[in-house]
Structure 1
């Protein structure tokens, strides 16, 4: 952990390891099918980029971009298209690979759902209080937002997730099963 609570050293370390794994895949699987390359990516590279992504989710755009750059290189490798004028985003969507930032966001929402519904051994902290006043459209599983004074705390798991949690539809929040919740947020 950096002395100023910066994710910069961590992101540099993660992207370095993921790039090394990507190099291994590129050297050894260059002649393989697209499906094999994509499976190797999700198994060996993306798993490194997303390790503990619910908690270790960077908020600075340059750090988000640093992680996404690895996936962009992978997309070019999987599709075999290195033409600089072709859209990597279109190739990524064609392969069915969502942006890593969106996957981390969904991972945070799933973790919050598990905490609220008691599916993990992480109790809801005492400082996360249910809203004192609710409306018919927002009845349960809504919480008072946490006040923050520093960026490092503002963008940590609970303050950041609670802010986004308020934007989720009530019918999705109340889904009892984690699988149902995952399916519902996949469409958002």
Structure 2
């Protein structure tokens, strides 16, 4: 899809290229990303490299010595990995608050009350697994991220407020 956009918008304005990437290419990279979220460094870098190529295309800067990280910062694009993490946390919020037809009681167990500083009534017990395939699936991975969020973020009343707080926290 990025190749199609490159061929057809070669001489167009910067804003048009950026809008084309955000509306045509990025949805392909983020489609069902909550489910297929890659966990190996190799897979993560393959997906991130597409966004890095898009940054070069949008800025029309293909010089080898130019920093793509600087281009991404100038474009104010967050990494696709952090966007996938935020999407997973938002889905977890919706599951927790019964806004989606997934019963959290089937998959999650609330943390047992303790006197440790990490206890919060909205946190879940970590899911242990010996099998790597399950360890990096949605629930075990997202429970770890969920439990690392501050308690005031977990207690936010609306999904929109939670989404903004997660974006600021990640």
Mapping of residues 23-102 of structure 1, within 5 Å: 23-102=3-82
| Residue of structure 2 equivalent to 1:175 | 156
> What is the distance in 2 between the residues matched to 1:175 and 1:81?
42
Mapping of residues 105-120 of structure 1, within 5 Å: 105-120=85-100
- Gap runs ≥5 in structure 2: none
| Residue of structure 1 equivalent to 2:138 | 157
| Residue of structure 2 equivalent to 1:166 | 147
- CA gap of 1:63–1:111, structure 2 versus 1, over 3 A, is same
> What is the distance in 2 between the residues matched to 1:125 and 1:52?
23
Q: Which has the higher helix share?
A: 2
Normalised by the length of structure 2, the TM-score is 0.94
Output the aligned Cα RMSD. 1.3
Mapping of residues 6-17 of structure 1, within 5 Å: none
Is 1:142 the counterpart of 2:153? The answer is no
Q: Is the 8 A contact 1:137 1:170 kept in 2?
A: no
Superposition deviation, residue 134 in structure 1:
4.0
Aligned to 2:34, the other structure's residue is in SS state coil
Size of the aligned set, in residue pairs, is 168
Of 110-119 and 128-137, the range deviating more from structure 2: 128-137
Superposition deviation, residue 138 in structure 1:
3.6
> What is the distance in 1 between the residues matched to 2:148 and 2:118?
12
Normalised by the length of structure 1, the TM-score is 0.85
Describe the superposition over 1:76-112 as per-residue Cα deviations: whole angstroms up to 9, x where unpaired: 0000111111110110111011110110011100000
Aligned to 2:104, the other structure's residue is in SS state coil
Describe the superposition over 1:110-145 as per-residue Cα deviations: whole angstroms up to 9, x where unpaired: 000010011212221424111111457643211111
